[in-house]
Amino acid sequence: MIYFDYNATAPVMREAREAWLTATEKTGGNPSSMHQAGARAAVLLANAREKLAAYLGCHPADLIWTSGATEANNMVMHHFAKKAQPASEVWVSAIEHPCVFDSAQYYFGKKAKLIPITSEGVVDTDWITTEMADARPGLVAVMAANNETGVIQPWREVHAICQAYEVPFFTDAVQFIGKMPCHGLGECDYVTGAAHKFGGPRGVGFLKIPHRSQMTPLLLGGKQEGGRRAGTENVAIIAAMMAALEVREKQIARNEHLLRKLWRENFEREFVRTLPGATVVGANQPRLWNTVAAIMPDGDRKHQWVIRLDKAGFAVSTGSACTTGKEEPSHVLSAMGIKPAQAMRSIRFSAGWETTEPDWQALVAALAKIHL
């Protein structure tokens, strides 16, 4: 089976497994305990925090470990719901992951306003600038890169607009971190990430908050994480996440992602050539080197493609793992103005660091064969 569903989750890499085992064997204490075993666990956590802070470019004290990005994203919305002025709105891009989108709607209802998206899958910065002249939302949320299309969002630009109007800016960087250079993300007010998208274990992630700011906890009942997130930290799983990120950061520093971008581009050229009528979503936009959202030629619907490819030995997806199984067009493609009939023929190929050029070539050959 050749795996092309890394945006759903990536296999846990060897370095992460080893870091987990070492931390489990050698760091048995609770990081809040006063004895030496506790202190060893606390040191490991502090080192992990420092490393992540250095990668993102923020202060270690601004980082909170969480059970993943769903929790971290919910924490942001919960915090603003508790601290926001009753009249304030939150503006969220129309292509956010459901854990941002749904929690914004849950906490803010009609005061959660959608930021429109261009037909190329990019958040409309002109809209933000124009609207900001008249109204100040309590928070703006725009993800760093979209999980379905891979389109990289202008998070630096949106952050700059927000700074000019003193509006807090939140970016879900789950699909960006561990694939693209992440230094500078730490300057955004709120940033979230999850280990399992870059080769770490599932069930661990983080939230970065503004320096010396308050955070209304979502989980109560302990003073861990500076009282901002109760519950004993899972030291070994955090060590594993940081071991994975360290490997990815080194690969990115060596520009290994640029070669992989070429492989994806070669695949796309071959893909549209061999399957007349097929298109790539957001084709002309800067995209993650690993992601291709494709609209397949007239005929079969997305689920049929996924099943046929599965039988041919390729794991691909119909889009977000959180929406698979639903016989509905994706909200991301709909926000781009893609008609439901087309959106129902969309599938996502998402590669990983382990994917090779022959894997991409095998995928296009299999697609051509299935299509015949």
| Annotation marks residue 322 as catalytic | yes
Distance of closest approach, residue 327 Cβ to ligand PLP, in angstroms: 20
Give yes or no for residue 229 binding ligand PLP (CB under 6 A): no
> Mutual orientation of helices 235-253 and 14-26 as an angle, nearest 10°?
150
Tokens for 89?
A: 């709105």
Q: CA-based diameter of the chain, in Å?
A: 67
Give yes or no for residue 103 binding ligand PLP (CB under 6 A): no
Stretch of 80-88, 170-178, 180-188, 233-241 lying at the interface with ligand PLP (CB under 6 A): 170-178
- Please identify which residue in 76, 162, 194, 295 interacts with ligand PLP, judged by CB under 6 A: 194
Residues 57-76 that bind ligand PLP (CB under 6 A): 68-70, 73
- Please identify which residue in 27, 93, 103, 147 interacts with ligand PLP, judged by CB under 6 A: 147
Give yes or no for residue 174 binding ligand PLP (CB under 6 A): yes
- Please identify which residue in 5, 172, 233, 249 interacts with ligand PLP, judged by CB under 6 A: 172
> Mutual orientation of helices 256-274 and 357-371 as an angle, nearest 10°?
10
- SS3 of 365, please? helix
Other Cβ atoms closer than 10 A to 21: 13
Neighbour order of strands in the sheet with 63-66: 63-66, 205-208, 190-194, 169-172, 139-141, 90-93, 112-115
Size of the site for ligand PLP (CB under 6 A): 15
CA atoms of 221 and 356, how far apart (whole Å): 47
Distance of closest approach, residue 365 Cβ to ligand PLP, in angstroms: 28
Distance of closest approach, residue 320 Cβ to ligand PLP, in angstroms: 6
CA atoms of 354 and 358, how far apart (whole Å): 11
Residues 306-335 that bind ligand PLP (CB under 6 A): 321-322
With respect to ligand PLP, which residue has the nearer C-beta, 71 or 189? 71
Give yes or no for residue 205 binding ligand PLP (CB under 6 A): yes
With respect to ligand PLP, which residue has the nearer C-beta, 44 or 174? 174
CA dihedral 49, 54, 56, 59 (to 10 degrees): 60
Known catalytic residues are 322
Contact residues for ligand PLP (CB under 6 A)?
A: 68-70, 73, 97, 99, 143, 147, 172, 174-175, 194, 205, 321-322
